[in-house]
Amino acid sequence: MTLRKTLIAALLYAATATIANPVLAENPDIAAITELRAGSMKKLVFAKDPSPAVTTTFIDEAENTKSFADYSGKYLLVNFWATWCAPCRHEMPSLNKLQAELGGDNFEVLTIATGRNPVPAIKAFFKKAEITDLPILRDPKQSLAREMSIFGLPTTIILNPEGQEIARLRGDAEWADENAYAVIKALIGSDDS
């Protein structure tokens, strides 16, 4: 093998290793993760710089006040949805599966019903769609949605462990396929196959 071929082979190997596991430290390589996007994940847009953390609260099923600070230290995939929104309902099972597969100490899926979404209607939908791994969270006055500039549903935001927005996807997506898993695993630093 010539020196030129050896150098090319070494560069290709290094590039492949970087794409296969771009996160080897606490700070993910957003450029490398962006290259992993395929399928519906191509709609996921990473911010040039993280936005400031949001402090507006929302409520859980029992009307307890919650905030993103309650989940600090984790990457959050925050999905804004509504019971009346057909695309929202369509993607909910894939969000449930994503939480079941990858949720844990460093990652969690939060689905926040924004606007008028009564708890009984959410529970009925969750039961019918067999949603078992997602919490019932609500933003009834749309205060959180307004602060986060949610202009259409569904909209999904990814927050870093400090609560800063780092990515946004408008519209529905397939969250339980290899494309989404590759992006999320690279982001959270999971090397599980």
pTM to 2 decimals? 0.83
pLDDT at residue 17 tops 70: no
Strand partners, 183: none
Classified as helix, coil or strand, 162 is coil
Gap between the Cα atoms of 72 and 183, Å rounded: 20
pLDDT at residue 20 tops 50: no
pLDDT at residue 56 tops 50: yes
At the second CATH level, the architecture of 3-188 is: 3-Layer(aba) Sandwich (3.40)
Q: Where are the alpha helices (DSSP H) in 37-170?
A: 86-102, 119-129, 143-147
Both structure tokens of 152: 């259409």
